[in-house]
Amino acid sequence: MRILFFTHYYPPEVNAPASRTYEHCREWAKSGHDVTVVTCVPNHPAGKIYPGFRNRIYQSEMVEGVRIIRLLTIITANNGFLLRTLNYVFYMVAATFALPFLPKADIVVTTSPQFFCGLVGIPAKLLKRAPWVLEIRDLWPESIVTVGAMDKGAVIRFLEAVERFAYRKADHIVAVTDSFVEHISQNGGANKIDVIKNGVDLGLFHRGADGDEVKRRYGFERRFVSAYIGTHGMAHGLDTIIDAAIMLREDPRFGFLLVGDGSERQRLVERAGSLKLDNLCIVGQLPKSDMPKVWAATDASIILLRQNDAFKKVIPSKMFEAMAMECPIILGVEGEAAQLLADAGAGIAMKPESADELVAAVKRLAEDRELGAHYGRSGAAHVREFYDRGKVAHRYLDLLTKIAKAKS
């Protein structure tokens, strides 16, 4: 089967959509399928082209059996709404113009957000005469309003109309959480939705890495380290961690680590710097190859989103990595994510944006190491059974094969 996959992000970028797409496409190629990924020049999140790449109109390479086509990209950092929107729209235009030069396809997959990447499926379906699967990893434009990036006005109403049009036109829709299904069904996507949740590469993320070097690097050798690993964005409410660090600043038993990048990182760095906290390190984005050691240095994984009903539909992908690393989770997310945590028996749920509850959870895990170890073992067993990325990728492949055959 010839699979043509459109994504705004792809390795060496290290965010969740890049990892999901790469790990799925790699497995599909291993299974003997012809997989082509159409993406951007890697530059996320800092807006700087990664070493070894150039911003050209069209370039192609083969990596692990996957043909990767990178298109000319407007280079911009992951902050500033207008510039990022221009970047997203430019990808849609570039991908549309590239369609006549792309390989034939038996099925087209586009992933959203980014919203405009998802919409490439409309012309791709027509020009490639292949069924179009629209993957929904987040509900746009709903999430734009939720994080406060835009008020709900004429622009959002227009985008909502485009969203409904895309749901109607897609041959099939893949959602990453069960909670998305109702929204998609009510907006034109009824009776053609499957849920393929995120997972984790168990070959990369597993207990066994040595975290001592990471603890030494940040001066946390004798501390219980609670780490947030992921995007530092408007949705995440990471001031909660700084507030918790303030509350524990006089207690030498505890350290907080923030790893990643995003639109809020610089503000968080400036706030933490003004407070002169020696129990908090904000270290920026690290290579994916470093992450097993970072996880091994993490005594508790903090996973947060702001308190908002829209986030009850979300499952942060870092939950799966934390569970694979046998790391107990402190989860400040309600809804489906909290249910997953309970099902897995993988940690402690807290009220979103509550520094008091975060401090209480950190203290509880630090003072009862066996409890943390129990959460770690339970989470690891759960993720091995249900969220092994290789198994998830093959379920996805079975679905794509079924859709392609039905439309042939």
Q: Where are the domains of the chain?
A: 2-199+388-407, 212-386
What value does the mean pLDDT take over residues 231-255? Answer: 95
Residue range 145-184, pLDDT digits in tens: 565 655 677 777 888 888 899 999 999 999 999 999 999 9
Residues 127-149 have a mean pLDDT of 81
Both structure tokens of 39: 């993406």
Q: At a CB cut-off of 8 Å and minimum separation 6, what does 312 contact?
A: 179, 333, 334, 335, 336
- Give the SS3 label for residue 261: coil
The better pLDDT of the pair 380, 206 is held by 380
The residue among 247, 200, 205, 198 whose CA lies nearest residue 226 is 247
pLDDT band for position 329 (cuts 50, 70, 90): very high
Q: Say whether 212-386 and 2-199+388-407 share the same fold.
A: yes
Which residue in 160, 182, 308, 235 sits closest to 152, CA to CA? 160
Distance, CA of 207 to CA of 327 (rounded, Å):
9
In the predicted model, is pLDDT for residue 111 greater than 90? Answer: yes
| Residue pair 107/3 in contact by the 8 Å Cβ criterion | yes
Secondary structure of residue 258 in the 3-state scheme:
strand
- How far is CA 245 from its chain centroid? 26
**Torsions phi, psi for 354 (to 5 deg):** -105, 105
Task: Decide yes or no: CATH 3.90.1010.10 for domain 2-199+388-407.
Answer: no
% of the chain residues with pLDDT over 90:
78
Q: Is a pLDDT exceeding 90 seen at residue 133?
A: yes
Hey, which residues does 181 pair with through a beta bridge?
none
Which of 237, 303, 266 is CA-nearest to residue 80? Answer: 266
DSSP 186: I
Predicted model pTM = 0.89
Secondary structure class of 135 (helix, strand, coil): strand
Q: What is the pLDDT of residue 34?
A: 98
Q: How confident is the model at residue 80 (pLDDT cuts 50, 70, 90)?
A: low
Where does 305-352 show beta strands of DSSP type E? 329-332, 347-349
Q: pLDDT per residue over 21-68, tens digit each?
A: 999 999 999 999 999 999 999 998 888 999 999 999 999 999 999 999
Residue that has been written with the tokens 């951007």 in this structure = 40
Burial 173-184 (b: 16+ CB within 10 A, else e): bbbbbebbbebb
Cβ-contact 174, 196 below 8 angstroms: yes
Q: What is the mean pLDDT of the chain?
A: 92
Task: Please report the pLDDT score of residue 43 as a whole number.
Answer: 93
For the beta carbon of residue 274, count every other beta carbon within 10 angstroms. Answer: 8
* pLDDT band at 336; cut points 50, 70, 90: very high
Any idea which fold 212-386 has? Rossmann fold (3.40.50)
CA distances from residue 128 to 1, 99, 240 in whole angstroms, order as listed: 14, 8, 48
In this structure, the strands spanning 58-63 and 66-71 are antiparallel
CA distance 69 to 350: 43
What average pLDDT does this structure show over 132-157?
76
Q: What's the 3-state SS for 217-253?
A: HCCCCCCEEEEEECCCCCCCCCHHHHHHHHHCCCCCC
Nearest Cα residue to 346 out of 186, 133, 200: 200
- Most confident range (mean pLDDT) of 46-50, 102-106, 214-218 is 102-106
> What average pLDDT score do residues 101-110 get?
97
Structure tokens at 365: 């895990």
How far is Cα 46 from Cα 386, in angstroms, rounded to an integer? 34
